[in-house]
């Protein structure tokens, strides 16, 4: 059973534009929501994460928006750059967790 649905599957953005990737989940017991960035041939790396006690978290050009009532969270990349071209995964877990559940991934291409 898919516990997190990520969209879109792929995304093309022009340099300087805003990239938006969305994830929706079903189980309200989750309380940790990270985003990972993966470059080709490499392992994913933690980009930014949020807990449900806040609705937004910003780190540089990357922002997570969290809507607890709608059970949705999204990643916004402001001023997208070609170097941001990668695959992005949302994930979720419960407190004190032993495992993360990942979304299917979004392949982002930022064109110059």
Partner 1 sequence: SQTIHQWPATLVQPVGSPLSLECTVEGTSNPNLYWYRQAAGRGLQLLFYSVGIGQISSEVPQNLSASRPQDRQFILSSKKLLLSDSGFYLCAWRGTGDGYTFGSGTRLTVV
> Which residue in this structure is represented by tokens 């807990």?
51
State the distance between the two ends of the chain, measured CA to CA, in whole angstroms. 39
CA distance 76 to 17: 10
99 in contact with partner 1 (CB under 8 A): yes
Question: Under rule CB under 8 A, which residues in 2-41 are in contact with partner 1?
Answer: 6, 32, 34, 36, 41
Closer of 17 and 38 to partner 1 (Cβ): 38
Q: Of these, 19, 89, 92, 108, which contacts partner 1 (CB under 8 A)? A: 89
Q: Of these, 30, 44, 74, 108, which contacts partner 1 (CB under 8 A)? A: 44
CA distance 26 to 90: 14
* 75 close to 63: Cβ distance less than 8 angstroms: yes
53 in contact with partner 1 (CB under 8 A): no
Q: Which of 87, 105, 103 lies closest to 2 in space, CA to CA?
A: 103
Q: Of these, 20, 24, 49, 109, which contacts partner 1 (CB under 8 A)? A: 49
Q: Which of 72, 77, 9 lies closest to 47 in space, CA to CA?
A: 77
Q: How far is the CB of 69 from partner 1 (least distance, A)?
A: 23
Residues that bind partner 1 (CB under 8 A): 6, 32, 34, 36, 41-46, 49, 89, 98-105, 107
């Amino acid at each position: 059973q898919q516990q997190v649905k990520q969209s879109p599957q792929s995304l093309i953005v022009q340099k300087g534009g805003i990239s938006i990737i969305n994830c929706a989940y079903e189980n309200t017991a989750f309380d940790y929501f990270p985003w990972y960035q993966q470059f080709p041939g490499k392992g994913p790396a933690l980009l930014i994460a949020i807990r449900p006690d806040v609705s937004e978290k910003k780190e540089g050009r990357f922002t997570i928006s969290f809507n607890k009532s709608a059970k949705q969270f999204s990643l916004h990349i402001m001023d997208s750059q070609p170097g941001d071209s990668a695959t992005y995964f949302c994930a979720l877990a419960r407190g004190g967790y032993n495992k993360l559940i990942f979304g299917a991934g979004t392949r982002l291409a930022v064109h110059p």
